Amino acid sequence: MKDDKIIQMDMGSAISSDIGTLCLGIESSCDETSAAIVDSNRNILAHIIYSQIPEHQKYGGVVPELAARAHILAIDTVIKQTLNAAGKNIDDIDVIAATAGPGLIGGVLVGWMAATGIAQATHKPLVAVNHLEGHALVPRLSASAANGMGVGVSVEFPYLLMLASGGHCQILLVRGVGQYEMIGQTIDDSAGEAFDKVSKMLGLGYPGGPIVDKRANLGNPKRFHFPRPLCDKPGCDFSFSGIKTAARIMLDKNQEPVDDAFINDFCASFQAAVVDCIINRLEHAIKTDAVKSAKPKTLVVAGGVAKNSAIRAAMEKLADDNNMIFAAPPMNLCTDNGAMIAWAGIENWRVGNIVREPVAPRPRWPLTEL
């Protein structure tokens, strides 16, 4: 593995000058090998991400076998560099945490076995982190809230969460660590998948979300008509496959030149449909009995799709209209990263949720089964 592919993340400003319990977190469930050291006072001491995106780009998506091999080659270096960047050695660490699912099982196994080995050799507590819980809890490590409080805000329980990533799209009521109530979820594709597939159809590359987002900001969202599946139906579930199929049909029938203006307008129109679906489903979610009785003060977005500028802006307005605070993690904590796993390790360790008998990593592991 070439060292020049390793990215040392911006740690953000220190939240506290006191260093609390230190957790080493490891993430390897998709195409990032990442590790971080985070403390119980919400400081990120070191954060390293080795992104495999260049290795998968030519295939237009993640190839699981290549990902697993790349994780094996990267994991030792990523962990060592994380310790070095924090100026710590393994004896200084109090808790070890790693993603134990859901995700591509070959990759999950690599990170989980590394963490298990370290924890056993050093007699330290080990936390089996659900990757989705990593996304769900990271706004409590660091978020910016649209109420003038700025980056570094910690979101309090309960909160209403829009969790949108490459593999998942769910609205959850987050009552506490390990306490998730599913309010709505996709019945087919995830939002991230829709972005990635539309990008692929347009020949824009992988991952599609950031590229489509950028193009959409330059385009006219009214030029193409995309459906808004389920938006006229009660409930909080999503469906994105119809939007994707509409994109395919429009492109197949198209007679116009596919120039920059066409692509920008197509991306803007597609993204507007996704945003409308998310807002419509969240509007319904806010009115459910479960949410009304829990009275969450904060509306949160997390997962890779939380980087999307239009989704952030629309959710901020929705929060405002409903007297809620809107909060989102900083951009580098939205997509997969080790800091969110280390933080979920801290949160679980605090409530005594550590591994006491061997854990088998799980390719599927819904948050509601924690």
Quote the CA–CA distance of 148 and 326 in Å, as a whole number: 11
Supply the minimum distance, in Å, between the C-beta of residue 132 and Zn ion: 7
Supply the minimum distance, in Å, between the C-beta of residue 134 and Zn ion: 7
Q: Does 27 bind Zn ion (CB under 5 A)?
A: no
Quote the CA–CA distance of 122 and 190 in Å, as a whole number: 39
Query: Using alpha carbons only, what angle is made at residue 89 by residues 85 and 95, rounded to the nearest 5 degrees?
Result: 100
- Among Zn ion, ligand KG4, none, what binds residue 28 when CB lies within 5 to 8 Å by partner kind? none
By the 8 A CB rule, do 82 and 24 touch? yes
Q: Which is nearer to Zn ion, 265 or 336 (CB)?
A: 336
State the CB neighbour count (10 A cutoff) for residue 193: 23
- Among Zn ion, ligand KG4, none, what binds residue 125 when CB lies within 5 to 8 Å by partner kind? none
Chain residues that interact with ligand KG4, rule: CB under 6 A: 30, 165-167, 192, 195-196, 207-210, 213, 303-305, 307-308, 335-336
Identify the CA nearest to 343 among candidates 313, 305, 308, 302. 302
Quote the CA–CA distance of 255 and 15 in Å, as a whole number: 55
User: x/- binding map, residues 277-316, to Zn ion, per CB under 5 A?
Assistant: ----------------------------------------
Supply the minimum distance, in Å, between the C-beta of residue 99 and ligand KG4: 10
Supply the minimum distance, in Å, between the C-beta of residue 305 and ligand KG4: 4
Task: Name, in order, each residue with C-beta under 8 angstroms of 268's C-beta and a sequence gap of 6 or more.
Answer: 215, 216, 217, 218, 219, 220, 221, 223
- Among ligand KG4, Zn ion, none, what binds residue 207 when CB lies within 5 to 8 Å by partner kind? ligand KG4
Q: Which of 52, 130, 142, 165 binds Zn ion (CB under 5 A)?
A: 165
Supply the minimum distance, in Å, between the C-beta of residue 170 and ligand KG4: 12
- Among Zn ion, ligand KG4, none, what binds residue 189 when CB lies within 5 to 8 Å by partner kind? none
Handedness of CA 44, 48, 54, 56 (dihedral sign): negative
Quote the CA–CA distance of 25 and 234 in Å, as a whole number: 40
Q: Which is nearer to Zn ion, 132 or 263 (CB)?
A: 132
Q: Which is nearer to ligand KG4, 146 or 169 (CB)?
A: 169
Helix (H, G, I), strand (E, B) or coil at 27: strand
Quote the CA–CA distance of 133 and 331 in Å, as a whole number: 17
- Among ligand KG4, Zn ion, none, what binds residue 33 when CB lies within 5 to 8 Å by partner kind? none
Q: At what angle do helices 260-286 and 191-201 cross, to 10 degrees?
A: 170
Supply the minimum distance, in Å, between the C-beta of residue 134 and ligand KG4: 9
- Binding residues among 336-365 for Zn ion as defined by CB under 5 A: 336
Q: Which is nearer to ligand KG4, 93 or 202 (CB)?
A: 202
Give contact residues for Zn ion (rule: CB under 5 A). 165, 336
